[in-house]
Amino acid sequence: MKISRRQFYIAGFLFLLVMDTFSQVCFKIAATHAEPFVASTEWLLRVVMDPWVYGSIVGYIGAFLIWMTMLREIPVGPAFAASHLEVIGVMIISVPLFGEHLNLLQYFGAALIVVGVGCLAYSEPKETDGSKHA
Amino acid sequence: MNHLVIFTLWALNLLVDTAGQLAFKAAAIEEEEASLLAHWRHMLSRPWLWIGVGCFILEFVLWLAFLSVVPLSQGVLLGMMSIVLIMFGGKLWFNEHFTRLRVVGITLIVLGVALVGGAA
């Protein structure tokens, strides 16, 4: 099957977003399981023993592999945006999964952050340069 | 959870994330060796890569601690502040340029983070 460059970009973006979101969700579940947080060895042990922590590591590795594959093909700017736009995935999934709700002002703030990341992504040099985000 | 704990964990996360990314950058731009193997051997023998790895591990624990005191969506949004600090670090230590668009992006992120955190 032949896929176009455009399809490759979109698929890469989406995979990266899903992987990063998955990682964050695992982090949150592990953190919740390990509650209450106190700076202690007991807390650290509870974290390390929680299987969800390893889910977040799997997500990290997956995201890393996708990131490195994408960097070979696309400019670092869009890739940079994709690697930070998991905020959107996280905001969406946190509603049904954790019952989280932002207030109106916070949604406005989130929108500013997303546009800000977009600006930074667009401002990156157009050539592929993997060293910048090593 | 009291605000001081949340703020401290947030600040520590930002600090360690920024330090780690800058250390990786410092490791990556060490003088280029003849071969890839030699380049990696050189990086492994110098402290930057290891400082970066250390920061990464520390951040892993700090991030879990932070997420146990804030909702996930807010935590991730507040964490975006590290992009701004990394950019300032890049300007300071690696002479990376602030174009107008970058200044706009940085300003929007700072405002956004202030709103998300301030309106909580």
Please tell me the distance in Å from B118's CA to the nearest CA on chain A.
8
Nearest CA in chain B to A43: B65
Mutate to test the interface with A, among B64, B67, B83, B87 (most CBs of A within 10 A): B64
Least confident interval from A37-46, A76-85, B79-88: A76-85
Q: Is the pLDDT of residue A132 over 50?
A: no
* Long-range residue pairs from B8-15, CB within 8 A, at least 24 positions apart, any chain: B9/B62, B9/B65, B9/B66, B9/B69, B10/B66, B10/B78, B10/B79, B10/B117, B12/B62, B13/B59, B13/B62, B13/B63, B13/B66, B13/B79, B13/B82, B14/B79, B14/B81, B14/B82, B14/B85
Domain boundaries, chain B: 3-118
The reply to whether ipTM tops 0.95 is: no
Whether B116 sits inside 8 A of A110 (CB atoms) is yes
What's the pLDDT score for residue A1? 63
Q: Is the minimum CB–CB distance between B80 and chain A shorter than 8 Å?
A: yes
Task: Indicate the residue of A98, A105, A118 with minimum beta-carbon distance to B115.
Answer: A105
> And the tokens for A58?
């799997």
- Cβ <8 Å between B87 and A106: no
**Contact indicator for A117, A73 with CB cutoff of 8 Å:** no
pLDDT, residue B39, reads 77
pLDDT at B71: 94
Contact call for B72 and A111, based on CB within 8 A: no
Burial letters for A63-91: b for 16+ Cβ neighbours within 10 Å, e otherwise?
Answer: beebbeebbeebbbbbbbbbbbbbbbbbb
**Higher pLDDT, residue A131 or B55:** B55
pLDDT in the model for residue A74: 75
Per residue in A21-63, pLDDT (tens digit) is 999 999 999 999 999 888 889 999 999 999 999 999 999 999 8
pLDDT of res. A112: 96
- Residue spans of the domains in chain A: they are 5-133
What would the pLDDT profile of B5-47 be if each residue is shown by its tens digit? 999 999 999 999 999 989 988 887 776 667 778 877 887 888 8
Q: Given A90, A103, A114, which is nearest B119 (Cβ)?
A: A103
Of residues A27, A110, A132, nearest to B64 (C-beta):
A27
Chain A interface test: which of B2, B43, B76 (most A C-beta within 10 Å)? B76
Residue A6 has pLDDT above 70, yes or no: yes
Are A84 and B83 an interchain contact pair (Cβ–Cβ within 8 Å)?
A: yes
